[in-house]
Amino acid sequence: MPYHEPIVVERRQLGALTLARWHVPDLARAMRPGQAMLARCAPPESDDPLLRRTLFPADADPHTGVVEVLLAPEERGLAWLAAQPSGARLDVYGPVGNGFTLAEQTRNLLLAGAGPTVPALLFLARAAVARGVAVVLLVAAAGADVLPPPFLLPSDVEYLTEASGEATLPALLAGAHLAGGPALSGAPLGWADQLCLGLTAPLLAPVIEQVRAGTLRWERGFAQTALAGVMPCGVGTCLSCLVETRNGARLRCKDGPVFDLRDLRS
């Protein structure tokens, strides 16, 4: 797995979030939506904090060589990373794991998520729109200041949010909080050819229940999720990122971080 030394080229504050753009051409060419990267969050002379932080890029442009990250600096490692100014050189390796698979026949794509994996959905939305796919993105968050702003998305994406808590995501999928869109009102799951999610562990069970209730046929490949969580080594050695599936334990860093939702045990 290659190591990279991105150079910070831009940093902007967006509410409680920090948008950072890093110039790192090799990584920008290699990254796919849903894959992760692991960032060192300390200066070269320090090992504190020791563990790298898992990041899901919000975009990677192979033409400009820029990778875009959206940071919620709620803990000291991410706070250090978010504070790095333009011109700073960082230490990142990746890409880690497997990303989303968008089926050739998909024409209507529903994206939904909460937590650290939401940037992966922004990345996927851009890739899907470039393919001519109709995209709806649903995001639940603990407050309006931690919602990605609409300008980060292509204008063709229908973007619906709920800022009263991440636990409202199943209700968003059910259509309970949708504000408009005659094709979607009350039935986002029925509209979608494919569903791609970004979830934390507490959301797995209620989202699986809602998907099961909201689809007539839930075939393999219909629903995928990027699963948030630590990936300390990123190469499958430490066994600290085990995920329970119907086929036994799997590693988030090698078998994921994107899994077929049907395979996950809630």
Token pair of 176 as six digits: 């309970």
**How many CA atoms within 13 Å lie on the side-chain side of 160?**
24
Distances (CA, A) of 133 to 10, 93, 98, 109: 30, 31, 21, 7
Give counts: helices (H), strands (E), the chain. Answer: 6, 16
Domains of the chain plus CATH, in order, are 3-96 (2.40.30.10), 108-263 (3.40.50.80)
Q: Is residue 179 over pLDDT 50?
A: no
Task: Encode pLDDT of 142-152 as tens digits.
Answer: 999 999 999 99
Task: Encode pLDDT of 89-113 as tens digits.
Answer: 999 999 999 999 999 999 999 999 9
CA distance 53 to 91: 11
Q: Is residue 178 over pLDDT 50?
A: no
**In 3-state terms, what secondary structure has residue 242?**
strand
**In 3-state terms, what secondary structure has residue 141?**
coil
- At residue 212, φ and ψ (nearest 5 deg) are -60, -40
Q: Residue 187: pLDDT band by 50, 70, 90 thresholds?
A: confident
pLDDT at site 181: 40
CA distance 224 to 101: 8
pLDDT at site 177: 52
pLDDT at site 216: 74
**How many CA atoms within 13 Å lie on the side-chain side of 214?**
27
Q: Is residue 224 over pLDDT 50?
A: yes
DSSP secondary structure letters along 59-114: EEETTTTEEEEEE---SHHHHHHHTPPTT-B--EEEEESB-----TT--EEEEEE-
Q: What percent of the chain has pLDDT over 90?
A: 83
Mean pLDDT value of segment 246-254: 93
On whether the CB atoms of residues 128 and 193 are closer than 8 A, the answer is no
CA distance 215 to 105: 18
Give the predicted TM-score (pTM) of the model: 0.95
Token pair of 56 as six digits: 């899901």
Mean pLDDT value of segment 10-26: 97
Q: Is residue 11 over pLDDT 70?
A: yes
**How many CA atoms within 13 Å lie on the side-chain side of 79?**
5
pLDDT at site 129: 98
pLDDT at site 182: 37
Task: Encode pLDDT of 124-137 as tens digits.
Answer: 999 999 999 999 99
